[in-house]
Structure 1
Amino acid sequence: MLKTETLPNTIYIEYTFKIYPLQPASEILIAELGQLGFESFVETREGVLAYLQKQDWKEAILDSIFILKNPDFKISYRSKEIEQENWNVTWERNFNPIQVDDLCTVRAPFHEKSNSKYDIVIEPKMSFGTGHHETTHMMLQHILAHNFEGKSVLDMGTGTGVLAILAEMKGAIDIDAIDIDHWCYLNALENVERNGCHHIQVLEGDSSTIPHHKEYDIVLANINRNILLKDISVYANCLKRNGLLFLSGFYYDDIIVISAKCIEVGLKFEKNIEKNNWVAVKYVF
């Protein structure tokens, strides 16, 4: 049985946005909020629920959100404090299963088992990575499109652990899943066990937590632009020759600066997937 520890009762600020028309304003709003440090999002029939740790909140946090000033959309919002333990009630009410390329389903424990080749059960608990956001969805697409049989894999910023879980389902036999957030670390442990995985080691920390002198066939990193730019050289140093690096968590316009850094350390751009201006990029070492 998985042992978990009791966490301090972290307080989150929950924003409820009502949006009309819903698209593309909902996607743009999520993208802008993500840049400000909002951790989790739930898309509803009327708009978006967005969550930010209270310690990161400030009075003027929404002042720089351009979509709120766009006259083409009517967006109203309210906010309240919410404790971690109560967030599950919210996502259970709003979380719908997703399908990726008709091969993979990501669902919650209370949904019926799917007929997909890869059926992943995720209980996010404030962690990023249900597959609903473009970056996670595209990283899942990359994994589905590539051979993971017998591969060693590093999953940086693992969040719920969904990418590592799919990697094992596709045949990876040695996977390190790392996240700096303690809550994500515990959540990934739970999801790994929930999906019957046996080849995933979940670690808590940043890129300095990567086991020394270890090399990987594939590195997955779905974080954000600034952390990626800082750590790309670290990822390259732990990649085997001809290894693959998949990066996401940034916009299409950022490919230039991300690729420039990759070229510096010997990585070659190969392809990217784009969705609503977010991208997931493949590099070869």
Structure 2
Amino acid sequence: MNYTEIQLTVSADYTDILMAELADLGFESFVETDEGLNAYILEPDFDEAAIQSIVDKYGDQTAIAYQINSLEKKNWNEEWERNYQPIEVQSRIKVRASFHEQDPGFQYDIVINPKMSFGTGHHETTAMMLEHQLGVDAAGKTVLDVGSGTGILAILAALQGASRVVAFDIEEWAVENARENAELNGCSSIEVFQGTIHDVNPNEKFDIVLANINRNVLLADIPVYVRLMNPGGTLLVSGFYEQDAPDIEEKGVAEGLTKTSKLTQNNWVSIQFSTAGQ
């Protein structure tokens, strides 16, 4: 059976949102591109009117264009395996799929089998978050992973010796995937639930909060993160462009945070903040 490919030209700020919308329509796999997003669905399940409805829904927020292609039947697992290459972070972390061989030369060997090819570490924001985590002592600490995706950040925290790791995502498929990947890495103690930051028990406190989301969510929710943090805690954020960094920094400072580190990669940014000590 043939597949239909949708090639979306859209701002990177909206690829996650459109991925979630298309997943609800039955699209099976996604590839992020320099132009936006490619999505794939079995030809009989394709509904162009539903695609147009999504474009109309977000068209007043950002420019969106799409092209439809019909593809011959392929072995998609084989295609994915051929294109998914392991990545390395600071020569200390290797992120690979389960079909790659383990490399004992790395301090942290993380296995990630993504359901929708996102959160594997290949995106600059994820790689920078992992790099920032390497500089944070998580041993014996409590960690909250906001919008966990594949669970990769939560898994690294657990491998670093965190005493408790809580992760959540708004998407059901992401929650399932994070649990599966936690099991693959021997980190089944990670607590993963479906929901938002407002579903976290407000009486709980965390030493480290990880939030790789986007500019608008961060600006809205940084005050909530701060309320959930212990004195002397660490907040790591990413998912925004360099031009948005001043707004994120300003919001953090307004909430009593201190910027302690900043990473930039291909115009994407990750910032580390700390809360005041006891």
User: What 5-or-longer segments of structure 1 have no aligned partner?
Assistant: 1-11, 18-27, 69-75
Q: Provide Cα deviations, 1:35-93, integer angstroms capped at 9, x if missing partner.
A: 7734686479x998633996674279899669x9xxxxxxx965469xxxx96554333
2:166 to 164, 176, 181: 176
**What amino acid maps onto 2:89 in structure 1?**
V
What is the match of residue 97 of structure 1?
86
Equivalent pairs, count = 251
1:250 aligns with 2:231: no
Change (3 A) 1:49 1:37: closer
- Match of residue 109 from structure 1: 98
* Aligned-CA RMSD value: 3.4
Q: Give the SS at the match of 2:226.
A: helix
The structure-2 alpha-carbon separation of the partners of 1:241 and 1:47, relative to structure 1 and needing over 3 Å to count, comes to closer
Question: Which of 55, 60, 74 is the equivalent residue of 1:58?
Answer: 55
1:5 corresponds to: none
Task: Write the mapping of 1:115-194 to structure 2, written as runs, cut at 5 A.
Answer: 115=104, 116-126=106-116, 128-194=118-184
Distance 1:91 1:166 in 2: 24
Q: Map of 1:1-285 to 2, 5 A cutoff? A: 14-15=5-6, 31=12, 34=15, 37-38=18-19, 42=31, 50-51=38-39, 57-58=54-55, 78-79=68-69, 88=77, 90-115=79-104, 116-126=106-116, 128-285=118-275
Give 1:32 deviation, angstroms. 6.1
Structure 1: distance between partners of 2:152 and 2:128: 12
> Is the CA contact 1:122–1:191 (under 8 Å) kept in the aligned structure 2?
yes
* SS of aligned partner of 2:137: coil
- TM-score in terms of structure 2 length: 0.78
Distance across 2 between alignment mates of 1:29 and 1:277: 17
TM-score normalised over the length of structure 1 = 0.76
Letter in 2 for 1:224: N
Any conservation in 2 of the 1:135–1:279 contact (CA below 8 Å)?
yes
Partner-residue secondary structure (3-state), 2:55: coil
Shift of 1:29: 7.7
Residue 258 of structure 1 aligns with an amino acid whose one-letter code is: I
Does the CA contact (< 8 Å) of 1:127 and 1:187 recur in 2?
Answer: no
Distance 1:59 1:95, change over 3 A: farther
User: Which segment is superposed worse, 52-61 or 96-105?
Assistant: 52-61
- Mapped partners of 2:254, 2:67: distance in 1: 44
- Aligned to 1:192, the other structure's residue is in SS state helix
What secondary structure, in the 3-state scheme, does the structure 2 residue paired with 1:280 have? strand
Report the Cα distance in structure 2 between the residues aligned to 1:156 and 1:99, rounded to whole angstroms: 23
Q: CA deviation at 1:228?
A: 1.0
Structure 2 gap segments, 5+ residues each: 21-28, 42-49
Deviations 1:209-247 (A, max 9, x none): 212311111000001111111111110001111101000
Identity %: 44
